[in-house]
A and B are shown apart, each in its own frame.
Chain A
Amino acid sequence: MAAPFTRVYRPLWRIITTTTLNKGVRNVSSTRQQWSAQNVKTAGVASPWALHGAVCLQRLPVVSQDRSPIEDEFMELMHQMELERSLLSDHELRLLEDAARMSRKQEEESDEEEEDYRDKDIFTAQDLEDIWEQKLKQYQPAQRSQGVDEKGVSSSERCLAESLILLVKKDVGSQKLWLLPQIQWQTGETLRQTAERALASLPGADLKATFLGNAPCGFYKYKYPKDIQKEGSVGAKVFFFKALLSGHKHLPLEKNSFAWVKKDELQDFLKPEYLKQVRRFIMAL
């Protein structure tokens, strides 16, 4: 996944910016002594691109997806075949024996001595089966869908069969936009630490997450509008990191500033250019 961002990158000021980009990459991959030395060397040259670290926080699916009609039919067929090919289990053999014995007992009524020897167990096989049925009825499995309104995007319990992504509403410049949580990079920290900070600094949400690796999974570059562009700043570059949500119960988040969306709902929330880059690294499985 490191390949995409090096390909898309088209530097305007090649000499200066390549070194700073490399600095960003090196920070990401390892935090050894040698790379910090390189930091000190190139610290004097500032790049016109501001670096941001963003986190793509995903909630993994909790239940398996529903089967399509063909899959249902096929599964029924396979079950049927397996049943017809199988041999009788111990319990089923006992059931048959008991049934045969009962029918024999009813026909000939002089076998009472044999009964005392054989019926040592208190329960017959049929009784056992009834007891098991009773126990099964008492068991309540968890619901496949938690009964949360599917259209409301603020709960992380919706759509348990699919993976959801966290979006945050942020005001960028003059307008409010839906984005993946991002924060500006500071000197001396790796980009992955920036992404962790972005997650931790979300107001009103304590979300525990595991980051999968040190390498970013995606990249997005945008220029500031003309009136904001100064001598030293042209635009910003955002590096995305993937994280998986850990832990179970979460408090519902504010409706207007947070959203948990599926991949196909992303287009209702994100800008087209941003969406194009984000879609590349999100897997809808």
Chain B
Amino acid sequence: MNTLLTKVLLLQNTRALLCAASSLQSQVLTTQMPLGVLLTNRQYRSMPTHGIGKYRHLLPKALPKKKKDRVQAKQIKAATATEFGVFNVCVSGYDMTLVEHYSQYIHNLCNHLDIKVDESCALPTKSTEVMVMQEQGTKMYVDAVLKTHERIVQISEMKATLFPIFMEVVLKNQPEGVRLCVKQHTEADYQARFKTRPELEGLLAKIHN
């Protein structure tokens, strides 16, 4: 108790001394320096409260935002005896709300059953023009424009014993007007998502020819 008290008194003494010293210093300096210069009252390292408000070192390291590098083609895993490889569940149809909700349902089902979903993306919309031939005449005129929407849920490493149950649930909840297709994922499928670059292809053809 006594030692504590003495320590506290000592601390208080030193603090008082330091304060006095700093105030003297500031007085001395302010009288001599011009008024424009600002002098901060910085705490010294041996001060017990040095760096008391610091929190930046506690936050997780935020990496500097790097530019988006080119998307690398992921290695397509092959199927083993007990597991499927990578396969796509394609949902397509004319009604976008139905197609989107159904693909979201499949994705949520996979999350719930702990099935690994690699990607869940949309393919570009395809427009189909329905042309009707006029009764008297040869000219066709546009009757309607139908848009086909397509969504893909890519699944990898699914156990072969779980697959029948998953397929049954998915098929039983398929809405009307929505087409479901389950197929193996190939490199061609992956490349089909990219846009074609006509100038590059033209130049390549010129080089080869």
Contact = CB atoms under 8 A, between A and B. Distances in A.
B164 A242 contact: yes
Central interface residue in B81, B163, B164, B171, by most chain A CB within 10 Å: B164
Interface in B151-209: 160-161, 163-165, 167-169, 171-176
A244 B171 contact: yes
A36 B81 CA distance: 17
Interface residues of B, number: 15
Given A213-B160, A217-B164, 20 more contacts: A1-B161, A1-B165, A58-B168, A60-B171, A60-B172, A60-B174, A61-B172, A63-B176, A64-B175, A212-B167, A213-B161, A215-B160, A242-B164, A244-B168, A283-B168, A283-B169, A283-B172, A285-B169, A285-B172, A285-B173
Interface of B: 81, 160-161, 163-165, 167-169, 171-176
Interface residues of A, number: 19
A137 B26 CA distance: 94
Interface in A175-227: 212-215, 217
B160 A212 contact: no
B168 A212 contact: yes
8 contacts: A2-B161, A58-B168, A60-B172, A212-B168, A213-B163, A215-B161, A217-B164, A283-B168
Contacts of A1: 161, 164-165
Interface of A: 1-2, 29-30, 58, 60-61, 63-64, 163, 212-215, 217, 242, 244, 283, 285
A181 to B, nearest CB: 18
Closest CB pairs A-B (n = 4): A212-B164, A213-B164, A285-B172, A215-B161
A215 B81 CA distance: 13
Nearest to A212: B164
Contacts of B168: 58, 212, 242, 244, 283
A163 B168 CA distance: 11
B139 to A, nearest CB: 14
